């Protein structure tokens, strides 16, 4: 393989490629220059750091420890919450029909109204189609 001073067929094909011809045809109405035409100095070449700078030690405990009163209040609130959860679980275990009136089920039904409407319409159309065939 030797190098010659005349342009290669590949280079000529690249100069006359459809993409380049389309770019030349649309240059008259393009307002911003293409990205390739922008100078390299204008682009920022700094990349975003993937890890934080750890020159100073990271402190996990940023706040002071809780006082006895704060710990007592928080623990009593937690105990009350657990007691309510146990009571609710026992109520639902005794009467499973209460699941239908629980706030979680009501929220789920309110979120799924459209899906239930589409399901109802599909079932009714299927029944009408079956009656039409018979």
- Statement to judge: residues 95 and 116 lie in one domain: no
Q: Give 12-43 pLDDT, tens digit per residue.
A: 666 666 766 666 666 666 566 555 555 555 55
- Statement to judge: residues 95 and 77 lie in one domain: yes
Domain that holds residue 113: 102-133
- Statement to judge: residues 75 and 91 lie in one domain: yes
Q: Give 121-134 pLDDT, tens digit per residue.
A: 999 999 999 999 98
Query: Which pLDDT value is given to residue 66?
Result: 83
Q: Residue 6: pLDDT band by 50, 70, 90 thresholds? A: low
- Answer for the pair 100, 92: CB distance below 8 angstroms, yes or no: no
- Statement to judge: residues 94 and 110 lie in one domain: no
- What SS3 string covers 13-28? HHHCCHHHHHHHHHCC
- Statement to judge: residues 109 and 120 lie in one domain: yes
Decide if pLDDT at 114 tops 60: yes
Query: Which pLDDT value is given to residue 92?
Result: 87
């Amino acid at each position: 393989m030797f190098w010659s001073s005349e342009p290669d067929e590949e280079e000529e094909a690249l100069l006359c490629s459809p993409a380049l011809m389309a770019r030349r045809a649309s240059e008259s109405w393009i307002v911003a220059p293409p990205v390739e035409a922008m100078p390299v100095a204008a682009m920022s070449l700094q990349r975003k750091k993937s890890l934080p700078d750890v020159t100073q030690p990271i402190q996990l405990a940023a706040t002071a420890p809780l006082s006895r009163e704060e710990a007592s209040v928080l623990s009593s609130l937690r105990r009350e919450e657990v007691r309510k959860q146990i009571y609710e679980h026992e109520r639902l275990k005794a009467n499973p029909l209460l699941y239908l009136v629980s706030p979680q089920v009501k929220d789920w039904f309110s979120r799924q109204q459209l899906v239930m409407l589409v399901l109802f319409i599909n079932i009714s159309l299927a029944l009408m189609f079956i009656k039409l065939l018979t």
